[in-house]
Structure 1
Amino acid sequence: MEKARPDAGQASLVASRSAAPAGGAARSPWRRRADRLLAALVWLTLASVVAAWGLLVFLSDRWWPATLLLFGPRWVLAAPVLAFGSLALGLRRRLLLPLAAAAAIVFGPLMGLHVPNPLRPEAAGPRVRVLTQNLGRVKLASEAVGALLTELSPDVAAFQECSPPGDRVSPFAGYTLHVDYNTCLLTRYPIRKVDARDRKDVWQKDGSGAITLYELESPHGVFSLLNLHLDTVRDGLEAIAVRRLSGVPELEANTAARRWESELAREWARRAAGPLLIAGDFNMPVESGIYRDLWSEFTNAFSVAGFGYGFTKKTRLLRARIDHILLGAGWAAERAWVARSIGSDHHGTVADLRWTGAPGGG
């Protein structure tokens, strides 16, 4: 028998179904253009985030645009990631993958997220708790500082921008106070030696120059602590804000001056006789090229034993971790965290350290 042939209407219906895309009706031209534009913007965003990360790691405090990124509000890089993410949810969900990668970089290493290594071996030895705090306008003898010391009970507390009592006697029981101009040290341990660097050459260049080395006699042995307050990038940033590109030379000069001051402090640290701790307001994040060149050989307590971003300087736009506790040989970091606010424009950094007994020095 002869097979029945489909009529013209059935043939047309079959052809139209075979031509339609698997996902349903064909997209309109404007939708295809919107998809292509969104895809281009998403990949451009990912490339920009990776480039910013590279600038931060390799060129900050070496090339002025990267220095602006180093001290600027890095969180703004998340804005296009979040905006394009909401569009991708409705238009093209496969673009969520590169956006997720961009978000992981921004909220992870670009903003300085730290997560302790769970496999890090547990340190043994006597525990020493160290606090460093830029006091700003908060008086050393204030109730706020007293409450913080009662709460944390540090064995050693290094203060910067410190306004001590007029008699320079410790206002807190159990602590010995030493004052070097506008830096102070409160310690439960006897001070064997104070080696303060003359600041005059740094002051002549409008720097800070607060570099004071102590020898402390603990029950576990003698160790050294270097209390630092290094120069700020503020003048360089203000020059850019006011004069735009005309302020670049001033920012570059500021970077050179900050590097020189760090070199002076690093050289002073070599005078340490015992296991060395360094605590203070470095006025630079760990991504800084100056920090990497001069301080990265030391263990940063928060970098290895802290959780989160560890921001110690907080303003309306800026979040930065510029106050540090560094460990030389003979020390291991057990735990590190950021102290609560006491009214200063800085938060304190606290670390529980273990004396491992290894020989130290700067």
Structure 2
Amino acid sequence: PPLTSPTQQSEDPPKKKRKRVPILKKKPHKGRWVGLLSLVYLAIILLVWYCIASISEEWWFSTALTYLPRAPWLLPAVILLVCSVVIHRKSIPFNVVSIIIVLWLIMEFNIPSGAVAGFSKRENLVIVSCNIQDYEPNFRKVLNEIIRQDPDVIAFQEARRIHPAFLEQYPDWHSLVVEQFVVCSRYPIKKIGTCESRAFQRVTALAVEIETPQGTIRLVNTHLMTARKGLIELSLGAIFSGEGPEEVEHFQRTREEEASDTWLFVSGISSESPLIIVGDFNMPSSSSIYEKNWSGYTNAFLATNWGYGYTSPCKSHRLWLEDTPWLRIDHILTNAHWQVHSCDIGKTNGSDHRFISARISLRD
């Protein structure tokens, strides 16, 4: 063979290296699942909101949604948000929107309607209302909070008598006890009448006249039937058999009849006088029954307060925290004669309901 020089050897082309074929890795599906679940849960949240806000107590399922705790709807959205941050950031907006809808619309965070009145030359009147549950478990806790409100008129439901501690604090006040209703005031009180509803064969309201420095006013102390007595029929077996939903819807129709009877009574005694309606309505302001009967009046909390203002239930429940109410079912309503300046909700659990108070005055 011919001899080659070292220079020639160095100029020989290098041997080609074999290319490694990359191993194809399967794309992870976790991100896709997080995105899909986030979108599906947003759709569920929108459906829940629609049921509560638009259907409400006209269907058994939306009735249950109206009265069950609403904060638990937050938990899946928060878990999905954390997963989105870690795995699939494109789905973050879906979960943020879900959380906003729950906190604002489903849990009914209130933004004042703008009807709050400013300074008035007329003297203010402070009204307090509370379902006192026969003064149990600790009326003195409630009373101490009420004293700080410096009230002019106090209305109790489920009272049936006047507690000795109340008489000690307000010995010179005027008072009236009819059925379960108690009305007390620093001004003279006169009974007008009671509403005896045919729906549940019970007295649902007491109407009185009060001679205040602002003139004669009328006050209605009311307590409507709770939805809970119908919802307890919703056991799993009753739902599948259809009996539970039928019982709930029948009970709701009866509640609606009772609310209508009470509204007719109030309309009959109010005439053109300054009117205040207080008490345990046993329904939130988003309720379809409330909308049909009471939306024509000014709701003191909706007009003046930010937040949730939950008033009940405060008792401990098997699957819920003690002293953590989740519904605003106690209200103070006024007709057009009044200006609403402020509204407060109690903070203690001396009863199953927090008290509600409002500072109002007659329009100039």
Q: TM-score, normalised by structure 2?
A: 0.83
| AA at the equivalent of 2:193 | D
SS across alignment from 1:239: coil
Name the CA distance, whole Å, in 2 between partners of 1:34 and 1:85.
Answer: 14
| AA at the equivalent of 1:194 | I
TM-superposed deviation, 1:184: 0.4
What residue in structure 2 maps to residue 351 of structure 1?
A: 358
Is 1:239 equivalent to 2:233 in the alignment? yes
Does the aligned pair in 2 maintain the 1:305–1:336 contact within 8 Å? yes
Name the CA distance, whole Å, in 2 between partners of 1:55 and 1:252.
Answer: 15
Query: Which has the larger Rg?
Result: 2
TM-superposed deviation, 1:153: 1.6
What residue in structure 1 maps to residue 65 of structure 2?
A: 69
TM-superposed deviation, 1:110: 0.8
Larger CA deviation: 301-310 vs 274-283? 301-310
Give 1:1-362 correspondences, 5 Å limit: 29-31=26-28, 33-116=29-112, 122=118, 124=120, 125-138=122-135, 143-165=140-162, 170-171=167-168, 172-198=170-196, 201-204=198-201, 208-241=202-235, 243-245=237-239, 246-270=243-267, 271-273=269-271, 274-314=273-313, 315=315, 316=317, 317=320, 319-357=326-364
Does the aligned pair in 2 maintain the 1:134–1:344 contact within 8 Å? yes
Does the aligned pair in 2 maintain the 1:307–1:337 contact within 8 Å? no
Name the CA distance, whole Å, in 2 between partners of 1:101 and 1:109.
Answer: 11
CA shift in 2, pair 1:35/1:189, >3 Å: same
Q: Deviations over 1:141-162 (max 9, x none)?
A: 9544542332222111110010
CA shift in 2, pair 1:259/1:92, >3 Å: same
| AA at the equivalent of 1:196 | T
Larger CA deviation: 226-235 vs 94-103? 94-103
For structure 1, the 5+ residue unaligned runs are 1-6, 17-26, 358-362
TM-superposed deviation, 1:336: 1.1
Name the CA distance, whole Å, in 1 between partners of 2:236 and 2:270.
Answer: 42
SS across alignment from 2:233: helix
TM-superposed deviation, 1:250: 1.3
Name the CA distance, whole Å, in 2 between partners of 1:312 and 1:77.
Answer: 20
| AA at the equivalent of 1:70 | T
Name the CA distance, whole Å, in 1 between partners of 2:51 and 2:113.
Answer: 26
Does the aligned pair in 1 maintain the 2:298–2:334 contact within 8 Å? yes
Name the CA distance, whole Å, in 2 between partners of 1:243 and 1:196.
Answer: 40
Name the CA distance, whole Å, in 2 between partners of 1:8 and 1:111.
Answer: 73
| AA at the equivalent of 2:194 | A
TM-superposed deviation, 1:286: 0.8
Does the aligned pair in 2 maintain the 1:286–1:322 contact within 8 Å? yes
| AA at the equivalent of 1:324 | H
Larger CA deviation: 345-354 vs 236-245? 236-245
Does the aligned pair in 1 maintain the 2:311–2:355 contact within 8 Å? yes
Q: Deviations over 1:318-353 (max 9, x none)?
A: 611110001111112211121132521111111111
| AA at the equivalent of 1:329 | A
Q: Deviations over 1:54-103 (max 9, x none)?
A: 11111111111100000011112111101101100101223211211111
For structure 2, the 5+ residue unaligned runs are 1-13
CA shift in 2, pair 1:119/1:248, >3 Å: closer
CA shift in 2, pair 1:148/1:234, >3 Å: same
| AA at the equivalent of 1:107 | L
CA shift in 2, pair 1:45/1:325, >3 Å: same
Q: TM-score, normalised by structure 1?
A: 0.84
CA shift in 2, pair 1:288/1:117, >3 Å: closer
What residue in structure 2 maps to residue 3 of structure 1?
A: none
CA RMSD of aligned residues (A): 2.9
Larger CA deviation: 234-243 vs 97-106? 234-243
Q: How many residues of Structure 1 are paired with residues of Structure 2 in the alignment?
A: 333
Name the CA distance, whole Å, in 2 between partners of 1:342 and 1:53.
Answer: 29
Name the CA distance, whole Å, in 2 between partners of 1:142 and 1:117.
Answer: 33
What residue in structure 2 maps to residue 4 of structure 1?
A: none
Name the CA distance, whole Å, in 1 between partners of 2:236 and 2:222.
Answer: 30
Name the CA distance, whole Å, in 1 between partners of 2:187 and 2:25.
Answer: 77
SS across alignment from 1:312: coil
